[in-house]
Amino acid sequence: DIVMTQTPLSSPVTLGQSASISCRSSQSLVHSDGNTYLSWLQQRPGQPPRPLIYMISKRFSGVPDRFSGSGAGRDFTLEISRVEAEDVGVYYCMQATQNPTFGQGTKVEIK
C-alpha cells in the first residue's frame, strides 16, 4: 500500500495569512495512464470530507481560488491563501493511483 505522510499535523494560522500543508507519498503517484491521482479534501467539524483539489492542482467546482495545489511525483503541497474562519478544519491528502490511501490529516485552526 502507498503510505501518505502529511506535515505539519497542526497549523495555527492568523486570519488573512497563508497556510501550507505538505504531503509525501511512499512511492511515485504517476499512474500508468500518465495522470497523477492526488487529491486534497477538507473536513469541517461534524461534516463529511469535501473534495477540494484533484489531479494535484485542479479545483472542483465551487472551491475558492484561495486553495491551490502543486507538486509532482512523490511531493505535493496544498496552499491556502488569505485564510478565512470557514477554512478551519482538517485537511487530508488522498492518492488514488493505487487502492486509495489518505494522509493522517492536518488540523488548520485560527491563532
Partner 1 sequence: EVQLVESGGGLVQPGGSLRLSCAASGFTLSSYWMTWVRQAPGKGPEWVANIRQDGGERRYVDAVKGRFIISRDNAKSSLYLQMNSLRVEDTAVYYCARGLTADSWGQGTLVTVSS
Residues engaged in binding partner 1 (CB under 8 A): 37, 39, 41, 48-51, 54, 60, 90, 92, 94, 96, 99-105
Q: Pick between residue 31 and residue 81 the one whose CB is nearest to partner 1.
A: 31
Q: Pick between residue 66 and residue 107 the one whose CB is nearest to partner 1.
A: 107
Closest alpha carbon to 89 in 58, 60, 46 = 46
CB of 100 to partner 1, least distance (A): 4
Q: Which amino acid type is present at position 97? A: T
Closest alpha carbon to 77 in 97, 60, 57 = 57
CB of 14 to partner 1, least distance (A): 26
CB of 8 to partner 1, least distance (A): 15
CA 31 vs CA 24, 45, 47, 73: distances in Å = 16, 33, 30, 10
Q: Pick between residue 24 and residue 50 the one whose CB is nearest to partner 1.
A: 50
Q: CB-based contacts of 48: which residues, under 8 Å, 6+ apart?
A: none
